[in-house]
Amino acid sequence: AFGGPIWRATILVSLLGVAAYKYLPEPADNVYLTRWIALYDAPRDFWLNLNAKHAAQQEQVSDAMILFSDAKMPQVHRYRYPQVFEQASPFINAVGSNIDMSGVVVRGDHT
């Protein structure tokens, strides 16, 4: 029952774990693995500046996305019968109610 491959693997892994714990170096700053990782590690200020720059760029992108997603075409009032502007009599207007309509351009619906 204890001669199966699972028990042999368990005992082997346990012995390797005990040997590794006994013979591995103590955690310190002068261990070769720590020195090797430190060679490729960037300083803290580098990551702080990089993250600040990224946050500023993301804020600009989000502001642009909000601007474009909320943008709407200007509202256009289309009249079903634009000739109504020229239909009324110019003599029925009360005093002071004359409106200068010379700048109004009536455009038809070209859809």
Domain chopping of the chain, boundaries: 25-73
> Could you tell me the pLDDT band of residue 29, with boundaries at 50, 70 and 90?
low
Q: In this predicted model, which residue has the larger pLDDT, 107 or 50?
A: 50
pLDDT reported for residue 52: 97
Three-state SS sequence of 24-93: CCCCCCCCHHHHHHHHCCCCHHHHHHHHHHHHHHHHHHHHHHHHHHHCCCCCCCCCCCHHHHHCCCCCCC
Per-residue pLDDT of 37-92, as tens digits, reads: 888 888 889 989 999 999 999 999 999 999 989 888 888 877 787 777 777 776 77
- Checking if the pLDDT of 109 tops 60, the result is no
